Amino acid sequence: MDATVSKRWLLARLYEPEQTIVDCRFTLGQPKAGRDSYEQEHIPGAIYLDLKLDLSSPVSEHGGRHPLPDPEVLAARLSKLGIGNDTRIVAYDDENGMNAARLWWLLRYLGHEQVFILEGGFSQWKEGKYPVTDHQPVRVPSTFTANVQPQMLAGVEEVREVSEKTVSNAGAESESDVNVASAVPVLPVLIDSRANDRYHGQNETLDPVGGHIPGAVNYFWKDTQNLDGSWRSAEQLEEHFAGLDKDREIIVYCGSGVTACPNILALEKAGFKNVRLYAGSWSDWISYEQNAIATGKE
């Protein structure tokens, strides 16, 4: 089954007991806005998970602006909210799916596959005259046991090595040194999911340093969606990512590890099988003085 579900699909299953709907609305710079919106109105039966309080750890020197939550802490939070290992989860937000995709990725990282994202988010649900409420459901605690999948992550040391070798290999190829270039093993592709201007080092408003990881290519995460906020089809996404080799490993990053997640979803929808997340992303990368920074076009 696709990772996204339609409004009609959810409406038909709205009150199924084995399902939990999760409201992931969150606005950067307005930390209470998502919770306030949820308390005002939400999809019936939905619970709320906060990007900073539930889906991230506290910020420290390294790890980026939204460090991954501790798996056991998140598992305990899910258990308290009545989510078990057999629960089907449907997540939504109002930010083109970026926060819902963060939860989608995190749950899969914890070994939970039954998780989906609502197409169009809350606003389209409401505009379509689907039911909303301000009632907050009473949840009976369950047991969620984390089965962490470490292979889904790439750490800063590996990303640094991939970056350095990618740049070195590109330099060898530019000098037509076929022997040197061919001696370099096939490297993972680094994908930067941010908007093109931020990738180039322009108009950076979220992080203290602009630019990108040397060797990374830019695929803006919002380009995986249609103008109405729906996700593009598998065929359209295959065309979008046509410049990438499906047999190569891919490491995806963004500013803080959130908007990389919808890009990972889109890559998997397009048929890419070996896609990992650099969770700390750019905000973690620049926390290390020794890490190189590139600007402009690669």
**Which residues are designated catalytic?**
254
What are the C-alpha distances in Å from 46 to residues 20, 118, 222?
Answer: 7, 12, 25
Say if CB 116 and CB 4 are below 8 A apart: yes
Residue 41: what are its φ and ψ, rounded to 5°?
-170, 150
CA distances in angstroms from 269 to 106, 133, 264, 279, listed in the order given: 17, 32, 8, 20
Three-state SS sequence of the chain: CCCEECHHHHHHCCCCCCEEEEECCCECCECCHHHHHHHHCECCCCEECCCCCCCCCCCCCCCCCCCCCCHHHHHHHHHHCCCCCCCEEEEECCCCCHHHHHHHHHHHHCCCCCEEEECCHHHHHHHCCCCCECCCCCCCCCCCCCCCCHHHECCHHHHHHHHHHHHHHHHHHHCCCHHHHHHCCCCCEEEECCCHHHHCCCCCCCCCCCCECCCCEECCHHHHECCCCCECCHHHHHHHCCCCCCCCCEEEECCCCCCHHHHHHHHHHCCCCCEEECCCHHHHHCCCCCCCCECCCC
CA gap 267, 272 in Å, rounded: 5
